[in-house]
Amino acid sequence: MSAPRRLVIATRESRLALWQAHHVRDRLRALYPECEVELLGMTTTGDQILDRTLSEIGGKGLFTKELEVALADGRADLAVHSLKDVPMELPEGFELAAVLEREDPRDAFVSVRYASFEALPQGARIGTSSLRRGAQIAQTRPDLQILPLRGNLDTRLGKLDRGEYDAIVLAAAGLKRLGLSERIRQVLPPSLSLPAPGQGALGIEIMSHRSDVRGWLAPLVHSTTWLEVTAERAVSRALGGSCRIPLAAYAVVQPDGSLQLDALLATDNRFRTTRVSTDTAPAFDSAEALGLRAAEQLA
């Protein structure tokens, strides 16, 4: 296959989304030095509606729809997403062509006044946009006030700094990618806050018929990360995962090559967790099956 001459990347315009798109652009330029790689910045519906939670306004697809329109009408060749924002079922004609190596998938505790989650006093105000995070916080610390928190990363940090919250919980990956690691007071262990499916990973979406783009992106694929997120997303897909239910899934390839998956589902009347693993090093179909097994145990 000949090298590409020009590629256009569709991206949201938040600072974090642009970092992610620039990262992919730089990787592509390194692979194909003669290729002109451009960014097409876009504002999505999810970026525009900030006064309601994602569960109220339609879920994860609000961060991808406009980018998919750009792919469909030929203005862009690929779209870069935070994988945790990508719906479990893509529209017909679209596919995930690559998943890049994961950054830290854990959640981060961020506070101006308090050094750790455990140090929060009774009744403290903690902000999160995620039902998943909120359910786990409430399970551990029912005394805390869990308040909604929307906006891009800089907006959320600004609200914390203005004193609207005593602490907030964010994805560690975003803070680290933007050089804001010093804002992290504590990286929350999965035993306290199990991550969202795909958290910390970048996914690249294309039109399914673009076999040329799929081939050009192949060197960017990180097989271990893709294996892990395949299991995680299978849990969510099987349980109808969206922003409307508190669901977590976190898979890790173990030193012996096996795949271990922890998953969590919280509802009004129960809080369930499970751990499943493969016996040997898995293939993608067995990673999917592992996720389905975990979903059966949680259902």
Is 104 a known active-site residue? no
Choice among 85, 104, 107, 262 that is catalytic:
85
Give the chain as a 3 state SS string: CCCCCEEEEEEECCHHHHHHHHHHHHHHHHHCCCCEEEEEEECCHHHHCCCCCHHHHCCHHHHCHHHHHHHHCCCCCEEEEEHHHCCCCCCCCEEEEEECCCCCCCEEEECCCCCCHHHCCCCCEEEECCHHHHHHHHHHCCCCEEEECCCCHHHHHHHHHCCCCCEEEEEHHHHHHCCCHHHCCEEECCCCCCCCCCCCCEEEEEECCCHHHHHHHHHHCCHHHHHHHHHHHHHHHHCCCCCCCCEEEEEEECCCCCEEEEEEEEECCEEEEEEEECCCCCCHHHHHHHHHHHHHHHC
Catalytic (active-site) positions: 85
